[in-house]
Structure 1
Amino acid sequence: MATSVSPEELVITVDVNMAKDLVSSGHLYLDVRTHEEFDKGHLENSIVVPYLFITPQGREKNPQFLEQVLSACKMEDNIIVGCRSGVRSLEASAELLNAGFKSIKNMGGGYIAWVANGFAVKEPQPQPQESV
């Protein structure tokens, strides 16, 4: 009888300080938030592939998630996966590992913790007001 492994048992979660060091040393950063969340602010050079979409019916998993990640990353890449708080990224990390990715780490605390630590983010530039 096969026992299922929970995402917490399968995935290595690192804190934001370790994630920052790993990204600085060349790990890719995969942001699994929605495009709307990403557009409000994100880590420089992030790859964005939403894990869930917000729909009128609620949250729905992105049916092309693996395919979209594979189009941006290789199975051998060192990847840090992050979201807003660390919940979606944990699930996404487990799915990537189950699909055969070799080096996946979840960023605990997510984007909220990254910002709370004062780490650099890329935010949208305010558009200049047109004079009337």
Structure 2
Amino acid sequence: MGIMEWIIIVAVALIFLSRFIPTKGITNITVEQAKKRINDKNIQCIDVRTTGEYKSNHRPQFKNIPLNELPNKVNKLDKNKDIIVICQSGMRSAKAAKYLKKQGFKNIYNVKGGMSAWY
């Protein structure tokens, strides 16, 4: 194998691995950790699932802002407050957390396992 093939393999591996490295300012938390914080007045909680998913099962502390609507509604959130993000499994909320980080939010908490882990 030549040097170019090795460079390509290393580049692909780095891109793949970068998806698993935590982003500064985003913390993955457990459902138990989220439950302890959702009633804090300095925390804002958003649920990025679809409206239908939210209506079928949600926690009242979480405001529903579907992931695809987040860019249009991000200005309604307070950048000075911590934010907890949840979805069904934790994947969409991880995307939302990265988006919020790019928009200038500082302390973002993604609920691992999402509503599937809530009991």
TM-score (norm: length of structure 2) = 0.76
How far did residue 7 of structure 1 move? 6.7
Map of 2:48 onto structure 1: 32
Structure ID, larger Rg: 2
Tell whether 2:102 aligns with 1:98. yes
C-alpha contact (below 8 Å) 2:44/2:82 kept by paired residues? yes
Cα 1:88/1:23, change in 2 over 3 Å:
same
Deviation at 1:96, TM superposition (A): 0.4
- 5+ long unaligned stretches in structure 2: 1-13
Matched residue count:
101
* Residues 1:69 and 1:8: Cα distance change in structure 2 (over 3 Å): farther
Structure with the higher helix share, 1 or 2: 2
Q: 1:69 to 1:112 in 2, by over 3 A?
A: same
Q: Could you tell me which residue of structure 2 aligns to residue 87 of structure 1? A: 91
Two-structure CA RMSD over aligned residues (Å): 1.9
TM-score by length of 1: 0.69
> Could you say if the C-alpha distance between residues 96 and 7 of structure 1 is closer, same or farther in structure 2, counting changes exceeding 3 Å?
farther
Q: Percent identity?
A: 31
Structure 1 segments, 4+ long, off by >3 Å, are 3-8
Q: Which runs of 5+ in 1 are unaligned?
A: 52-61, 116-132
